[in-house]
Amino acid sequence: MSSQTDQTDSGSSDLAGQLLDAALNHVVFDGWSEATFAAAIADCDANPVLARAIYPRDAVDLALAYHRRGDRAMLARLAETDLSELRFRDRIAAMVRYRLEVAEDKEAVRRGVTFFALPHHAADGAKAVWGTCDSIWTALGDSSDDLNWYSKRTILSGVYSSTLLYWLGDDSPGHEATWAFLDRRIDNVMQFEKVKADLRKNSLLKPLLAGPEWLSSQIKRPAERDDLPGSLTPRR
């Protein structure tokens, strides 16, 4: 029974990848849409019922699968690279750069940005970006908890999103303009962190952090949670 189940799971996984590969041939024309999903099913000569079992929300799940594939490729590139000699801010910049460079198709990414900008898909898009930034921080050994866990991922989500939009419109050689933009954005974040550290050291200004510090003590880490990342649940 276990062997049969493993074979079924493997077959579903293979079909999931085949459908995604086939969809990428149509996204440039039809975007992440029902038409693209239907064309992918036809191209793979797949059972429509099985295909919809794998991607129950059709184009939404296809687009999210493409995003997760990019996250996996980013982590695979990290596994082949030694960043230990870099400053931490440069490691973060390298990871964001890797994530953009492993994109298989810039137009597919552009279509995804448009797709997830729609109000009824915005939550899925935000969760996808959050997942990318969580993967980056986790891969770089982040051990923060409570409010710091959330703030790091929230700030990096802003950096990643703005850099992604810049990258989509960048036609400079080797996307050098994008990497310069990314460096400026991360410098801004580091300046914010420096101000926060200075507040903690200053006896007169430290009370400004009293509220956030108290809130951080009331928030559970995501590892203790069963729901989606990004929501804040006070300890009971």
CA quadruple 197, 200, 203, 205: dihedral positive or negative? positive
Percent of the chain with pLDDT over 90: 65
The token pair that represents 48 in the structure block: 């429509």
Q: Which of 1-10, 17-26, 170-179 has the lowest mean pLDDT?
A: 1-10
Phi, psi (rounded to 5 degrees) for 32: -85, 95
Burial of 105 (0-12, 13-18, 19+ CB in 10 A): middle
Band of the pLDDT at 212, cuts 50, 70, 90?
very low
The CATH number that domain 68-197 falls under is 1.10.357
Q: How far is CA 134 from CA 35, 78, 84, 155, in A?
A: 32, 15, 19, 11
Q: How far is CA 13 from CA 19, 64, 73, 198, in A?
A: 10, 15, 17, 50
Q: Looking at this protein, which amino acid is placed at residue 221?
A: R
Q: Looking at this protein, which amino acid is placed at residue 79?
A: A
Q: How far is CA 29 from the centre of its chain?
A: 24
Q: Taking the model in full, what pTM does it have?
A: 0.79
Residue (of 193, 189, 235) closest to 214 by Cα position: 235
What pLDDT is recorded for position 187? 84
Q: Which helix (H) or strand (E) holds 155?
A: helix 146-168
